[in-house]
Amino acid sequence: MTALRNLITDVAGLRVGNAHDPELGSGVTAVLFDEPAVASYAVNGGAPGTRDTDLLEPDKVVPGVNAIVLSGGSAYGLDAAGGVQAFLREKGIGFAVGPALVPLVPQAITFDLLNGGNKEWGRYPPYRELGYEAAKAAGLDFALGTAGGGYGATTVDLKGGLGSASAVTSAGHTVGALVIVNALASTLVGDGPHFWAGAYEEAQEFGGLGLPSRITPEMRKLNWKGRAQEAAPPISTTIALVATDAVLTKAQAKRLAVISHDGHAKGLRFAHALYDGDTVFAAATGKKPLKDEAADFIEIGALAGDCLARAIARGVYEATALPFPGAQAAWKDRFGGLVKG
């Protein structure tokens, strides 16, 4: 087996591209499938922003999608899917309806409009062009942290970012996760440096610090964006795609999306709140059939949640601070000296 990148692109049949604008303080991440992928989704947050998600329900006619987009920009960012569509249409890729070709590109967005970037873009926001550039850049290797759709992401106490992780089941199915960590709350146990996802870490993918020897009530104290200012918190969102090379039905993809939300609970303290738009897409590229349908699917779901938790921690661990006055510090700014080697 080829060595794993510990990225969602370890799942055969998909590529990932990033595009961002440093002055804007935002960006787009596009996932392109080599062939239409069976996909579904689940929303557990109270403030989601999505495009073309109804077609992912198991009772809808569309058999597969050509791409999935994760971006910043709040509702403005939903233009990014149009840019990805334009790229795919130029390549002759899409759902054929008679002589018409319609690329199917569901999307979810995060709110990053208050991170210090210049959002005075004129009549139209730049996300359509960023979407095109992200699709154009799609490949097997891509940057994490302050990159693509995670460029402008924040959490309550540290810079957020784009994260990814992968794993292989005992039956040989590959599972991967891709996430924009723009959480209302925190990825850290107390004031840090340990990540809530520390129990699931592989090697030293986010510092190798594990969990503290004891988690005290003080460490579990809740905090969220806007609480200190006694004001309504800005809409947040941790949005993700989990993918596998298994052959799944659309109903199984729906169940996988639901199960994978466990990764939010493992990687964040806390998730799925009123101002979170937490959305998880699930996609299957159909390269390897399930042998024992129940057992194989159960393990894929369990590892998908673990991968999402790990990806959440990696997104924050790999992030760098934005170049704006008052921007949040990155994890490595505060705790990088604790990492050995």
Give residue 236's pLDDT.
Answer: 86
Residue 2 has pLDDT above 80, yes or no: no
d(CA 67, CA 135): 9
Give residue 233's pLDDT.
Answer: 65
Q: Is residue 51 included in any domain, yes or no?
A: yes
80-90 and 127-136 helices, crossing angle to 10°: 40
Q: Is residue 1 included in any domain, yes or no?
A: no
Q: Is residue 340 included in any domain, yes or no?
A: no
Count Cα atoms within 13 angstroms, Cβ side, for 43: 19
**Over the stretch 166-204, which tens digit does the pLDDT of each residue have?**
999 999 999 999 999 999 999 999 999 999 999 999 999
Quick check: 263 and 311 in contact, CB under 8 A?
yes
d(CA 200, CA 165): 11
**pLDDT band for position 25 (50/70/90)?**
very high
Cis check: omega of the bond before 193, within 30 degrees of 0: yes
CATH number for 220: 3.60.70.12
Mean pLDDT estimate for the chain: 95
Structural domain of 56? 8-334
Q: Is residue 2 included in any domain, yes or no?
A: no
Residue 107 has pLDDT above 80, yes or no: yes
Quick check: 145 and 164 in contact, CB under 8 A?
no
* Residues 6+ positions from 259 with CB-CB distance below 8 Å: 301, 302, 304, 305
Residue 228 has pLDDT above 70, yes or no: no
Q: Is residue 199 included in any domain, yes or no?
A: yes
Give residue 341's pLDDT.
Answer: 66
Q: Is residue 3 included in any domain, yes or no?
A: no
304 three-class SS: helix
Q: Is residue 134 included in any domain, yes or no?
A: yes
Query: Max Cα separation, the chain?
Result: 63
- What whole-number percentage of the chain has pLDDT above 90? 93
Residue 230 has pLDDT above 70, yes or no: no
Q: Is residue 208 included in any domain, yes or no?
A: yes
Question: How many folded domains does the chain comprise?
Answer: 1
**Over the stretch 77-88, which tens digit does the pLDDT of each residue have?**
999 999 999 999
What is the bridge-based pairing of β-strands 237-246 and 279-288? parallel
pTM of the model: 0.97
Quick check: 30 and 84 in contact, CB under 8 A?
yes
